[in-house]
Amino acid sequence: MDSAELTRVFPGLIDNYLDDATAPQQIQPDPIHDVHPTWSFINGSVLTVGAIFPDTGQLRVTLGLAFEVPYTAEVSHHVNRLNNKELLFGRMFLIGNDESGLGCILMQEIVLADSLSEEHPASLRNLLRIVAALGGQASRLAPSLQEQFGGQPFTEEQAFFLQMNG
């Protein structure tokens, strides 16, 4: 499947087959969506963004676990431990701002468009399993991360932030 086909198929897959997700909403502004088609949805209980990068043939699924956490070594070490010991899919990372001392914890999985095909439904089922597993993991981990480090959940208004940082 090429990026154009994935752009056509992805929102419908999420809307029609992922029970724990809300209907995908196109992220604005339009010029960026034209270059990197992107949708946001709540997966489990966590804001998720699916962005297609046609130049590299990638679908990047990024989830926001905690916003405005301390951007410190302690948080980074905790995130690294979770990566090493608990995640089945995706990678978790801390991004932040040295000046403000605040950051956010994100999860992401990258799927190559050419690994998907409508002629091979198992590849699309696997994509849905990955996205569902990411949502399950994130929904389980986000509340404890927010409680432990004082962060907040991502809101739908922050979808553009996830697109730009994922």
CATH of residue 48's domain is 3.30.1460.10
- By residue range, what is the domain housing residue 131? 3-165
Cβ–Cβ under 8 Å, residues 129 and 53 = no
The predicted model scores a pTM of: 0.93
Per-residue pLDDT, averaged over 99-114, amounts to 96
Q: What is the pLDDT of residue 32?
A: 63
Predicted confidence band of residue 165 (pLDDT cuts 50, 70, 90): confident
Confidence of residue 99 (pLDDT cuts 50, 70, 90): very high
Q: What is the mean pLDDT of the chain?
A: 92
| Total count of domains within the chain | 1
Confidence of residue 31 (pLDDT cuts 50, 70, 90): low
